[in-house]
Amino acid sequence: MAVSVIHNQEDQAFYATVHGYEAELAYSMPAADTIDFTHTFVDENLRGQGVGEEMARAALAYARDQHFKVLTSCHFVAAFVKRHQAEYENLLSK
């Protein structure tokens, strides 16, 4: 399934809509160079289909492109980063 992720800077969130169902990955900016992924919601009709992972990939790619350090207050994003540690470890705020 192709998942299109939209970034809305004003809302500080990444969104995906698949078959009319919505998913969201919210963030905050605690410092000018730091992004904190705070919450992920995936509609129950989309769970287990990789939608959350696609949002996490898009959000982390955005952080990398912007040279942000990453905090993972969201348990889902923290677990995703841990599973893909080699790819994302260098983004984490120490």
d(Cα 2, Cα 50) in Å, to the nearest integer?
A: 10
Residue 3's pLDDT is 87
Give domain 5-91's CATH number out of 3.20.20.70, 1.10.10.10, 3.40.630.30, 3.30.470.20. 3.40.630.30
> Residue 73 burial (CB < 10 Å; 0-12/13-18/19+)?
middle
Domain ranges of the chain: 5-91
**Beta-ladder partners of 39:** 26
pTM given for the model: 0.94
How many degrees, rounded to 5, is the angle at CA 74 between CA 32 and CA 57?
75
> Is pLDDT of 1 > 70?
no
**Position 81 confidence tier, pLDDT thresholds 50, 70, 90:** very high
Which tens digit of pLDDT belongs to each residue from 27-76? 999 999 999 999 999 999 999 999 999 999 999 999 999 999 999 999 99
